[in-house]
Amino acid sequence: MNVVFTFLDWFWVVMFLLLMIGSGILFYRLGKRSESDFFLAGRGLPWWLPASSVYATHTATDTPMWITGVSYKHGMAGIWYTFFSAWAAISAFVSTRIFRRSLAYTQAEWNVVRFTGIGAEMLRGWMAGWQVFMNMFILGWVGIAMGKVCEFLFGWEPWIGLITFSAVCAIYVLAAGYWGVVMADFQQGIIAFLIIMIVSIWGIVEAGGPSGIVEKLQNLDIQREARIETLAAMDANQLSSVSKQELAFFGADTTMTYQQIATLEATDFSMPRTEASRTNPFAFTGWATGDLPLAWCLTMIFIAILGGFGMGTTIDWYAEAQRIQSAKTVRDATYSIWWGTLVGLVRNSIWAVAILAFYVLNPWVFDVGEYEMGWFRLGFDYLPAGMLGFFFAAILAIHLSTISSHLNLGALYATRDLFHHYAKPDASEKELVWVGRISTLILLVGSFFFGLMMEDITSWLIFAIWIMAAGIWLPNILQVIWWRFNSWGYLSAWMANLAFSWLIVWILPHYGVLPELADYQQFWLLMIFGAFVYIPVTFLTKPEDMDHLVKYYVQARPVGFWGPVRKEAIRRGLINDPNAAATT
């Protein structure tokens, strides 16, 4: 589709870009004061500012594509894909509190607060390097998603959308650092939420309202039966003009040849769900069968919610860690994570309903690339002239909020953990701010290369999430809740996870040693295999130095199995024993 903008549409776009760049210039003086200001806004923000940043950062250009993809395919039950962000439910009250009290700038720095010696330094260096890479990678994949949106809308080459808008965003990140990011995120979060509501409600109304959607889904069930009858009546020659995606959608076994499918009766076509059940969030396809099994959903909820006891159990933690430290108190940090995530979850629910509207307006689209653009199409197909520019400005808001956060976050790891800690520990604040800016620029240029290399967003996304989450999910919790877990155990978990991820996800299935496993099955396998490495390594190496552990315990007050450290802290008189106080 090629969208034609009127003067009013371009007016919205230009005004929005000026507003964003202007906010960067406005906070330039605050951002350049120190490393703490350039990366944490001086650690003094009220909860609603980092909360809006949490929401805005995790509303990226590829988010509506991804949510549209799963909601179009699975109906309302697709919202469980988005429920991984519920890790914040427990994290806000447990690991957020502990991390905020550690005061570490980054998760990499937290390693030297929690662990000690060469193991801790190796973890810090490894994690910092990994995060610089990951942020460049995320910038690339979000950037190319914008490139694809611009290609879809205006027919531009993908690189134009990628480079133009990431470069515009870099202006205010370079000028004001995290101050610019968080202030722009606040505005972008409001604009993005407003337009998501407007477009979604508009789409729902176009589809006949909520009751119209339900009625149309029921009618689709009747049309579906007719289509299956038609397919069953076709001979092999006629069937060859029907795509395999369409045959799969209507329940034919697509591992069969067209000749074999032509022998099927209508009753042999078995769709995993009725059209009417698309309104049911619990319409699973069986315990472990079909494309949306209950076992997968339970694994997702288990990983998400219990992951909140740990740090880094999802890829989003690393961005959230920066927001936690920028909050002015522990309480502000807690509420920023909790409320920012809730707004995201509610937004996903509204999106899912809007995609149902898109589904009834455009049923049975079989090409993933086409239906993933569904939410964008709701806006550009149905909003009136003059509003299109506002919609595109909101898409830019969605895009810029994510790009700015990851530019600043990647630069934080490069500056604080690599340059400041290893290269020049006595660097002045002015030098550190400049290194932050140079790192931002390097990340920006690197992201262009990543973006242009990335063809299939989804498979990379899933692999990146597994690398970051699966095999180290449990170690990420153990490092918080178990005093005996040491740096060598944690380091070995990372190394083992890298090796096992490649093996289980790519190499072994490629050579037929393992069958192709569902993602939730890979998760359990990676968790078990990893434990065979890091548990023995932990017990075969010494515990962390007790002085260091006591210092950490008194400052961060971690939850879980910290008995020996707590006793030592009480013995040294660093904390009081509430039980002793109760008996005297």
Binding site for another protein (CB under 8 A): 76, 79, 83, 86, 89-90, 92-94, 97, 101, 103-104, 109, 112-113, 204, 209-211, 213-214, 279, 281, 305, 308, 329-332, 334, 338, 341-342, 345-346, 348-350, 352-353, 356, 416, 420-421, 425-426, 555, 557, 559, 575-576, 578
Least distance from another protein to the Cβ atom of residue 322, Å: 15
Least distance from another protein to the Cβ atom of residue 405, Å: 22
Least distance from another protein to the Cβ atom of residue 251, Å: 25
Q: Which is nearer to another protein, 80 or 152 (CB)?
A: 80
Q: CB within 8 A of 568, min separation 6: which ones?
A: 546, 549, 550
Measure the CA–CA gap between 408 and 326, rounded to whole angstroms: 13
Q: Which is nearer to another protein, 225 or 547 (CB)?
A: 547
Measure the CA–CA gap between 445 and 452, rounded to whole angstroms: 11
Please report which residue ranges of 255-306 form alpha helices under DSSP H.
258-262, 294-306
Tokens linked to 306: 């219990």
Least distance from another protein to the Cβ atom of residue 314, Å: 14
Tokens linked to 262: 């032509």
Least distance from another protein to the Cβ atom of residue 340, Å: 12
Q: Which is nearer to another protein, 90 or 498 (CB)?
A: 90
Place of tokens 């809006």: 52
Gyration radius of the chain's alpha carbons? 25
Q: Which is nearer to another protein, 117 or 509 (CB)?
A: 117
Measure the CA–CA gap between 578 and 27, rounded to whole angstroms: 46
Residues 317, 31: contact at Cβ < 8 Å? no
Q: CB within 8 A of 302, min separation 6: which ones?
A: none
Q: Which is nearer to another protein, 141 or 351 (CB)?
A: 351
Helix or strand or coil: residue 574? coil
Least distance from another protein to the Cβ atom of residue 93, Å: 5
- State the amino acid at position 326 in one-letter form: S
Least distance from another protein to the Cβ atom of residue 205, Å: 12
Measure the CA–CA gap between 154 and 3, rounded to whole angstroms: 6
Tokens linked to 183: 């202030």
Q: Which is nearer to another protein, 153 or 356 (CB)?
A: 356
Q: Which is nearer to another protein, 175 or 337 (CB)?
A: 337
Measure the CA–CA gap between 182 and 16, rounded to whole angstroms: 16
561 forms bridges with which residues in the sheet?
482
